[in-house]
Structure 1
């Protein structure tokens, strides 16, 4: 474990060395931001709406007592989506979509000796291949999480309109009442850390791939699994520290 941790830290140090040409790296960062942001927009939107709707319905079912204000369903659904569901579930989905792509792309370049060719030409391969992906994920995952939070709340409102378990007015009242800005800060910190973990862990798995097509698939799988585990661990640590 310590061997892999050492290689992981060394790879990150190499990735963030001073670039040879800023314009080339900037173009790669823009390309990766479009790939992560626009490419993930559809799946994040669909998941967020359905999670927000399901959360609101389940909270309304559990708080069916006449002694409990109906607006509390909006408050609980809001905080649950902001603090946990939107950042964590969105990041787990991104680990599967973006992380596997990063690992397989870099792994394919490794087994086809394209990375060796870059190093022979004097290019800092970790910096050219990995740093733009990490930067793009750190910047775009928080944007996607903010979008996911908004769509989750919209999904809850749609559920109230369609199910009638909670009136839309009570739901909106609960969403507004008692809102604490620190919950959004926690969500953004989680999203930033999760984005870094997804890109760096999957890039590490791909960069040290050896063999052929089978090993590339194994590296992509390992990258997704390790990313998901570290996302859940980081989620626990950030929640414990900030709340």
Structure 2
């Protein structure tokens, strides 16, 4: 009975969390187009989120391209299908691996960073001071960060895809004597708009989820330093779970449109 009761409590807490984030997202959409527009803060957040995540994303993408090619090469050689390597790697990275891995990496860095930053501001009563002084803290702190993640994550995904393909091409150039020009020509011939458009669209949703969860957990952080750490930790976990859900929904919807 205790187990059933604890499960019930956890389910209620999870649903309450989802409801709170839905209301938080609704508030974002209500104020995002209302003046004043915090352009300077938005540009600063784009720099903080994009530029400071670029090196991590580039290194991760390069290693993904190397590992995927090195692991797939023996199997393709066994079946005599080594010439399909650029097609397989290109489609896999552009469609799924690049966006998802990049989003998970950014969830670990960006969502936790936003959650900790806003959480510390809530604990030290800086957000309360902004409200008293007449500044709209939601507009200044939350809207700019969510918009920055929506804009920067697709750009980071493009960088990660390009570097991953370069890493794969490097392996084929060294082990298979395939030129870079031939490799990338084969990749671009295999890709179509049906591969690029869904991957790009879901990257925007990934950015929205990461920014929303990080801002929500930080903005409503509980008092105390322990609350800041909990906000940063739960922001990463919740953002990662929602990323997989969004990925499934986008792939499912795209599959329905392809069947029509």
TM > 0.5 fold call: yes
Tell me if 1:3 matches 2:3: no
Give the equivalent residue in structure 1 for 2:65: 52
Question: Higher mean Cα deviation, 168-177 or 233-242?
Answer: 168-177
> Are the structure 2 counterparts of residues 171 and 62 from structure 1 closer, same or farther at C-alpha, using a change threshold of 3 Å?
farther
**Cα distance in 2 for residues equivalent to 1:67 and 1:218:** 52
Deviation at 1:152, TM superposition (A): 0.8
Mapped pair 1:76 → 2:91: no
Runs of 4+ in 1 over 4 A off after TM superposition: none
Query: Retained in 1: the 8 A contact 2:115–2:218?
Result: yes
The root-mean-square deviation of aligned C-alpha atoms, in Å, is 1.8
Match of 2:230 in 1: 218
| In structure 2, distance between residues paired with 1:116 and 1:39 | 29
Q: 2:241 aligns with which of 223, 229, 234?
A: 229
Deviation at 1:176, TM superposition (A): 3.4
Normalized against structure 1, the TM-score is what?
Answer: 0.91
- Residue 113 of structure 1 and its aligned partner are, at CA, apart by 0.8
Equivalent pair of 2:218/2:232 in contact (CA under 8 Å)? yes
Q: What CA distance in whole angstroms lies between the structure 2 residues aligned with 1:9 and 1:121?
A: 28
The total of aligned residue pairs comes to 239
Per the normalisation by structure 2, the TM-score is 0.86
Give the Cα separation in 1 of the matches to 2:185 and 2:118.
49
Alignment match of 1:32 (pick from 24, 29, 45): 45
Deviation of 1:15 (Å): 3.5
- Between 137-146 and 53-62, the greater mean CA deviation after superposition: 53-62
After superposing the two structures, state which structure 1 stretch, 119-128 or 79-88, moved more: 119-128
8 Å contact kept, 1:82–1:149: yes
Tell which deviates more after alignment, 221-230 or 170-179. Answer: 170-179
Is the 2:150–2:205 Cα contact (8 Å) retained in structure 1?
Answer: yes
Which of 151, 163, 166 pairs up with 2:163?
A: 151
CA-to-aligned-CA distance 1:101-147 (integer Å, 9 cap, x gap): 10000000111111111112222221211000010010110011111
Structure number having the greater helix percentage: 2
Deviations 1:88-109 (A, max 9, x none): 0011000111111100000001
**2:113 aligned to 101, 119, 122, which one?**
101
1:167 aligned onto 2:178: yes
SS of 2:77's equivalent in the other structure is: coil
Residue by residue over 1:180-211, the C-alpha shift from the partner in whole angstroms, topping out at 9 and shown as x without a partner, is: 12211111112100000001011111111112
CA distance in 1, matches of 2:55, 2:100: 17
Runs of 5+ unmatched residues, structure 2: 1-13, 256-260
> Residue 140 of structure 2 is aligned with which of 128, 153, 163?
128
Gaps spanning 5+ residues in structure 1: where?
none
SS of the residue corresponding to residue 71 of structure 1 reads helix
